Structure 1
Amino acid sequence: MSWILFTLLAAFSQSWRNAFQSKLSADLSTVGVTLARFLWASPLALIYLTFLYQWQPASLPHVTGYSLFYIVGASIMQIVATALMVVLFKQKNFAIGAGLAKSEAPVSAFLGVLFFGTSLTLLGWVGVLLGGIAVLILSCPQGFRSLSLNTALLGLACSTAFALTSLWVREASLSLSVPFPHRAAWVLFLIILLQTLILISYLLLKDRHTLVTMFRKPKLVIMTSVASFIGSFGWFSAMSLQAVPYVKTLGQVEVFFTMLISFFWLKEKIKRKDIIALMMVATAAVLVMWH
């Protein structure tokens, strides 16, 4: 049941990372906020990988073209997904943006079954769909009619990009010829490093002012990167051990943490009907844990 602990750690850390990114989005461009997620996470990922080999020696992985495809694909898709989520933060409040982005569980279930050979039990499908409905309720505080078509499509694009990222991360991890947790650590380091290099190169060419601004606000950027590293460590480890739809459905407990952060730290109001949706999320989490 290690995947459950990794998922809970990831959900808790990601809720804080999203909150930090929401704060940064007021002062930085979309690309800048996206880079904040990865900037200081690369050294942390390298330190973790080095520690892992010192603690439990293993062989170096043989990276095939198959592995490389999924590593590069996941790197780019996660950048796209994060950028879309930042755009959501700029359109709606923090809780709505994070909620729409979290509808990736049912998307990953359908994509996984169709293209990646994922199999779910009936109980697992019920949990995935129940969690998806709950997240949609949380994302629409004024009812579904209040959600514009543009915001809904943006949310669907964001959740699809996150779902593809997760599925490709799992494929990349399973393709490496080293044991767990080494394979998860290698995928974590390689993906974060590639993402950092891509975004820094883009900003150096197109928007150096954003880079300067980021180094003038080091505290929030570092907090974002640390929370992101811990979250990615949890997700990548969990997805190396369990099918993505189960991990992402249990990961929807993140909305509990998101609501608490939104209310106490960001001072945003939470409606009473959200309690029902949160209970649905809890039920979905129990179903996938005991599928």
Structure 2
Amino acid sequence: MIWVAATLIAATAQTARNAAQAGLTRQIGTLGATAVRFVFGFPFAILALGLTAVWVPIPRPDAAVLGWAALGSMAQIAATALMLVTMRGQGFGVATALMKTEPVTLALIGAVLLAEPLGLSRLGAIGLATLGVVLASGATWSRMAWKPMATGILSGALFGLSAIGFRGALLALPDGSYGIRAITILAITLGLQTVAMAAWLVLYDRPALAGIMAQWRVSLVAGLLGAFASLFWFIGFALTPAANVRTLALVEVVMAQALSGRVFRQAVAPLQLLGMGLILAGVGWLLAAT
């Protein structure tokens, strides 16, 4: 069950990275904060790939690998931008919960694009955990404006599409262990994302680029955490369908609520605690079914 450990490590690192990015959004804007995880994460990915290449051969990507990686990379950029917009308009825990409707769309997309149907038992587990997400958000859905709800859910759907792209790239590599595949795809995707974001900032948003450089210490931490989290996401994707990984990752909602309470001083209501319990029950059901 290596994918279980990899997913839990990735979810923990991602929660910390999201908190760092949320703070950067207020200082350098949405696009600047979006670029941080890619631009400052890429050097760490190259370092990991270089150290790995000293000991073992690195698989050579073909057009199919690059195509899947590009799909995942661009979908992740759009998803991250929408995530930060949602965080700016809602609480940290609520925004995270909205995005974590992702496993439902991910299961459907995976069945269509990668022919990975999950079966009734695992779909039931995904549904239960997603219901827990809705309750754990603490949002008054009847009063919530449609725009933040739409951006949060769309962000989750795009994160799901990005996960499909990354798993497709990992499976398309001709050889290598799951660890080598993960490091290789990490370097490729962060490279594509860095080029895309850097070009956009240079051409259209130079003040954000200057802000990133001014906030380089926080940006470096966010980039390191982002690269570290992505590496373990990719290890999980290399070993099991992406919907399994993302459903288990719903424990991040529990982590986000705990972080909201301690750092952002946001109270947790009894209904939210029930939602967290349903998330954990759904995750347990998924592990049993898997």
Q: Please tell me the TM-score bracket, short chain as reference.
A: over 0.9
1:56-79 CA-to-partner distances (Å, cap 9, x unmatched) read x13x42322221211111111110
**Counterpart secondary structure, 1:145:** coil
Partner of 2:288: 290
Partner of 1:227: 225
| 1:145 positional shift | 0.8
- Does 1:48 pair with 2:44? no
- Does 1:171 pair with 2:168? yes
1:21-47 CA-to-partner distances (Å, cap 9, x unmatched) read 111111112110101111221111112
Partner of 1:72: 70
Question: Structure 2 CA distance, aligned partners of 1:24 and 1:211?
Answer: 12
**Counterpart secondary structure, 2:115:** coil
Q: How many residues in Structure 1 have an aligned counterpart in Structure 2?
A: 288
Identity of aligned residues (%): 25
Equivalent residue for 1:133, pick from 122, 127, 131: 131
| 1:142 positional shift | 4.1
Question: Structure 2 CA distance, aligned partners of 1:61 and 1:250?
Answer: 29
Partner of 1:147: 144
Ranges of 4+ aligned residues in structure 1 off by more than 4 Å: none
Partner of 2:192: 194
Partner of 2:97: 99
| 1:191 positional shift | 0.3
Q: Which amino acid aligns with 1:274?
A: Q
Question: Structure 1 CA distance, aligned partners of 2:268 and 2:216?
Answer: 30
**Counterpart secondary structure, 2:26:** coil
Q: Which amino acid aligns with 2:166?
A: V
| 1:219 positional shift | 2.1
1:172-205 CA-to-partner distances (Å, cap 9, x unmatched) read 0100012221111111111011111111111111
Equivalent residue for 1:120, pick from 118, 135, 145: 118
Equivalent residue for 1:273, pick from 267, 271, 274: 271
**Partners of 1:28 and 1:210 within 8 A in 2:** yes
Equivalent residue for 1:213, pick from 188, 202, 211: 211
**Partners of 2:20 and 2:222 within 8 A in 1:** yes
| 1:143 positional shift | 2.9
Partner of 1:253: 251
| 1:221 positional shift | 1.0
**Partners of 2:136 and 2:274 within 8 A in 1:** no
1:198-251 CA-to-partner distances (Å, cap 9, x unmatched) read 111111111111111112112221121111111101111100100011110000
Q: Output the TM-score relative to the length of structure 1.
A: 0.95
Q: Which amino acid aligns with 1:247?
A: V
Q: Output the TM-score relative to the length of structure 2.
A: 0.95
Partner of 2:27: 27
Question: Structure 2 CA distance, aligned partners of 1:205 and 1:16?
Answer: 30
Structure 1 stretch displaced more, 143-152 or 85-94: 143-152
**Partners of 2:44 and 2:227 within 8 A in 1:** yes
Unmatched runs of 5 consecutive residues or more in structure 1? none
Question: Structure 2 CA distance, aligned partners of 1:242 and 1:75?
Answer: 20
Unmatched runs of 5 consecutive residues or more in structure 2? none
| 1:152 positional shift | 2.2
**Counterpart secondary structure, 1:26:** helix
**Counterpart secondary structure, 2:249:** helix
Question: Structure 2 CA distance, aligned partners of 1:266 and 1:208?
Answer: 30
**Counterpart secondary structure, 1:28:** helix
Q: Which amino acid aligns with 1:27?
A: Q
**Partners of 2:94 and 2:139 within 8 A in 1:** no
**Partners of 1:137 and 1:143 within 8 A in 2:** no
- Does 1:157 pair with 2:154? yes
**Counterpart secondary structure, 2:270:** coil
Q: Which amino acid aligns with 1:43?
A: P
Question: Structure 2 CA distance, aligned partners of 1:232 and 1:45?
Answer: 10
Structure 1 stretch displaced more, 182-191 or 45-54: 45-54
